[in-house]
Each structure stands twice: as C-alpha cells, then as structure tokens.
Structure 1
Amino acid sequence: MIIACLGSSKRNASGSSTSSVPATELVVNDRVPLTEWKAYGYYACPNIDGVMVRNLSPWPVPPDVDIQGMFDSLCSVEGDHPERWISGTQHTALPPRPTRWKVPKPHEPLPFPWECQLNPFLEHQLFGPTSLWFDIGQDPSMLCYGTVETMIPISRADRIQPATYPFLTHMFINAIGDDPIQPFLWPFMVRNPEGIKCEDIYNAVYENFQQYVSQSEYYDWPQVRQIQVTKAYRARLSSRSNHNSGFVEGIQRVDYLGDNIMFRGLEPNPNIDGWVMFVGRTW
C-alpha cells in the first residue's frame, strides 16, 4: 500500500532534495464541515419548482433579464425546460454562493495536494463501504450513494460539489494504490479553470479507463498480468448485451484492474507530484 509520510522538505549535505510530504496547518485547523460542501452543491444546482437547474457561471447575469419570467418558463405542458435557466442568476429565493470557495484566478499558483482538503466523496477509505458507489467501468451517470442495500442515485447537487478546498484547476492522478507495476501506465490530468468539481473527477476517471489497450502495451506486461487482464476482459464482455449481437470489442484499461474496479478515493502522492487513486473490490 502506498503510504504518504508527513514531514518536512530537507536538503542533504550534497544539496540534493530529500523531500517528503510537508505537514500543513490548513488541513488540520480549518476542516470544512459536511454542510458547507453540500451548501455549495445546492447553490450550484438549485431545485426550482421541482426543476434542477445549473447555476454555475463566472459571468454576471445581464441586468435586463426577466428573472420572474425565467422562473415561470421552467415548467410547461410539454415538460421541464432547465435549459431556459441562465447560469449565474442571483435571487433572494436561491441558495447563496458559499463564501469559502473563491473563483480561481488565472496564472495564480495552486496549492500543493497536501495543502488541500478532499471532498468526503473523494477521500480514501481504508476500510468498509465508501460514501460513493462508483464502478469505474460504468458511466458516471450510474453513480449511487455508497450503500449496497438501497442504491440511491447521487443527486446532481452532490455531483457538483467542490472536489477540494481550496479550489484546484488541475489535478494530476499519476499512481494507483497497491499496483505492483510502477510507474502508473496511464496518468491523466483533471482540469476545470473555474475550479474542479466532483463530477470532473468521476468523468475523467471513467474516460481514462475506457481507452483501449494497444498490443504493444499488452505484451509489455508480465505474463501473469496478461492472463489476469484477459480473464477480466472476457468476464466484462460476457456481461454485455453486445456480446450476443456479434460485436467484439478490445481490451480496455479498466480490464487491467481485474475485479478491483470500485473507486475508493484519492490521496496526495508521496512523491509530492500529483494524486494516488485507490481502487478495490465490491464491498
């Protein structure tokens, strides 16, 4: 298991760096309560007369917008029309924007991973069920809260919660916990110039592991890993309806994980460069 050691950055007698992840007071002394993470989601995706609208926008609403008319236009005899909502609208009936999260400024230095707090949905769980039921091999639209008994789909407001405090605009996921093949074969970057949200992480993880594996990649692996990946590929294919239709697809990166396809959170990488993603079996 990859363990992050909290310490300090030092230089040895030769002047070379012997850095480890530095301790920071930010994470310890200013823990964000769960209510504030959720409050941001309610602000970003409010429920207006039963219609969920997206209200995130870095730009102010033009002053000539008929806000009441926009409210009234969301519902009609044809159905709901959330697309009629103009993002960034402010009104006393709407949840206010939480003041904790500041809009990132272009070209401003970003906090290091160890200086951030992760959203509870993204925190690495060492043991037990996670707060999020995320099968990396399934589209993020299938996300549920982490309870096997009920499998309640996660709300749009919770999907759009901030991924970190403070906001980051880039997150480099460059390691898989417990993977004996190092370095990680397919590191990937998550980006959002307005601040990364939880849904940005879910979508980036899914898209990365949906990519097909080339023959050269496959034959570079140890033979035992090739056998395991092939078994995972066949098991995945047999569970798909397109298998019966005669369509045959190739090995995907998700097959590399075997049956460890459940997302179990992130941690700062001990190499002080990026994030470690942890996966596990269905609990």
Structure 2
Amino acid sequence: MPTLKQIHPLLSHQPFTMLEGIQNPSLLSWNIREAPSTFLRVDSVPIRRLRSHELTTPATRPSVNHLRIRCGLFHDSETWFIEARNPLGVTVQDVLVAIYEAFKQPYSNEAFSTLCPKTQTLVLNAFHARVRATAESRTVWEAGIQRGDCLMRHSWFGGLSVPFERGGDTENTCLLSVRRLDDGAILSSPTRASLFR
C-alpha cells in the first residue's frame, strides 16, 4: 500500500500560504453541513467554479483507493472516521462527498449521553435550528440528531492534512480541520465548486 505523502492543494490545509485577504486556510469555501454543490459565493474574489477535471483529480499523491479522514472535534475520533473509497483512486470529489455524507450520519443516543450538559444543549440547539430551516421538519425531527449537529458552529471546511505520526492505522489517514462560522464573518476563498454528477 503506498504511503500518503501529499494532499491535493484544493483539499489541503494551507495556513502558511493563504492569499492576502483570504481568511480560510483552504482553497475551498464550504460549510460541510451543506452539499458540496453549494459552495459559497465569494464577494472579494472573482467566482471560479471547479472544473470537472479538477473534481476527478486524485485527492492524494500517490493516489490511494481508500482514504481515512479523522476529525478531532469528536471524543470518539479514534473509533469514528470518514472513509472515501474509489477502486480507481480516491478523487477530490470522492473526498468532498464522503465528508458531507459522513456528517449526515445519525449520532447515537449513547454517544450523545456521554457529552457534558452544556455541549448537549449546544448540539440540541444546532439540531433544532436544522429542523426549523427545512420544509420537511417532521421527517428531519424524526430522523434525530446527526453527527453534523455536533459540529455546532465549527462547520467551515479548513482543509485536510497528513498527520505527523506514521505507521499503524495512520498509513492512509489524514486529518480534517474545521473552523468556526461566526455571525457576520466572511471566510472567503478563491474557489466555488459545483459538482458534476
């Protein structure tokens, strides 16, 4: 199995190479609770949509057919992870779709009960806001809390990075960075994406 050396620049966490005026450490501007086709419009930078060849580009170098993505915001990050798979090699689009789908997964009552009361309240507030924001509120309510609700306000894609430690189960693993979405904050990036399905 090839050793993961580099994340595609569109997906990588780039805190030290940000363009002037760009506040998000990723080239993609995306609230990961929303489908990747809804990348936010950028006011300060001319809109550039991702092209189909960029979405079908390998997500890593060397290319891998299985990529494990961990998010440290969760107390169960050692056992829960996002998986992007493609027998022909995981692409940028595969990663974006895997992240979005993973945060739509139900969050179990058992896991919820392990959260402190303050965090439970914040998660419930996020869940109730999501229920109110949809036309299908009864269906959303009955489906229950999703893992994305546990992000609370930390749902802005900040990029992927290769972990420092290697070996064991970290061989094809990368780390997901998310940023806080503050009211009125503009986290701009030079790209906007539209998935070609």
- 1:200 paired residue number: 94
Q: Where do residues 28-107 of structure 1 align in structure 2 (5 Å cutoff)? A: none
SS in 1 for 2:160: strand
SS of the residue aligned with 1:275? strand
Which protein, 1 or 2, shows the higher relative CO under an 8 Å CA cutoff with sep ≥ 6?
Answer: 2
Q: Which residue of 2 aligns with 1:227?
A: 121
Paired letter, 1:220: T
How many positions carry a matched residue from both structures? 167
Deviation at 1:144, TM superposition (A): 5.3
Shift of 1:185: 5.5
Q: Deviations over 1:197-234 (max 9, x none)?
A: 10010011111110111211211222222111111111
Aligned equivalent of 1:110: 2
Cα distance in structure 1, aligned partners of 2:34 and 2:127? 14
Q: CA deviation at 1:279?
A: 0.5
In 2, distance between residues paired with 1:204 and 1:281? 21
- The aligned amino acid for 2:100 is Y
CA 1:277 to 1:148, structure 2 compared with 1: closer, same or farther past 3 Å?
farther
Tell me the equivalent position of 1:44: none
C-alpha distance in 2, partners of 1:269/1:182? 17
- Identify the residue that residue 179 of structure 2 maps to in structure 1: 280
8 Å CA contact retained: 1:259, 1:281:
yes
Distance 1:151 1:232 in 2: 30
The alignment status of 1:121 with 2:10, answered yes or no, reads yes
Mapped partners of 2:118, 2:92: distance in 1: 35
Cα RMSD after superposing both structures:
2.3
Which amino acid in 2 is paired with 1:110?
Answer: P
Map 1:240-251 onto structure 2 (within 5 A). 240-243=134-137, 246-247=138-139, 248=141, 249-251=143-145
Residues 173 and 189, structure 1, Cα contact 8 Å, conserved in 2: yes
1:183 Cα deviation after fit: 3.5
CA deviations on 1:16-41 (whole Å, 9 max, x unpaired) are: xxxxxxxxxxxxxxxxxxxxxxxxxx
Residue 152 (structure 1) shift: 4.9
Select the structure of larger CA radius of gyration. Answer: 1
The answer to whether the 8 Å contact 1:144/1:152 transfers is no
> Residues 172-211 of structure 1 correspond to what in structure 2 (within 5 A)?
172-176=68-72, 179=73, 181=75, 183-184=77-78, 186-211=80-105
Larger deviation, residues 134-143 vs 205-214: 134-143
Instruction: Name the TM-score, length of structure 2 as normaliser.
Output: 0.74
8 Å CA contact retained: 2:65, 2:85: yes
Conserved? CA contact 1:171–1:275, under 8 Å:
yes
C-alpha distance after superposition, 1:23-81 (max 9, x if no partner): xxxxxxxxxxxxxxxxxxxxxxxxxxxxxxxxxxxxxxxxxxxxxxxxxxxxxxxxxxx
Which of 30, 43, 50 is matched with 1:154 structurally? 50
- The DSSP-based 3-state class of the residue aligned with 2:84 is strand
Give the unaligned 5+ runs of structure 1.
1-108
Residues 144, 151 of structure 1: 8 Å contact kept: no
Identity rate, percent: 26
Residues 1:138 and 2:37 are matched in the alignment: no
Partners of 2:32 and 2:176 lie apart in 1 by: 11
What SS is found at the alignment partner of 2:71?
strand
Q: Secondary structure at the match of 1:133?
A: coil
What's 1:263 paired with? 157
Alpha-carbon distance in 1 for matches of 2:136, 2:74: 33
SS in 2 for 1:132: coil
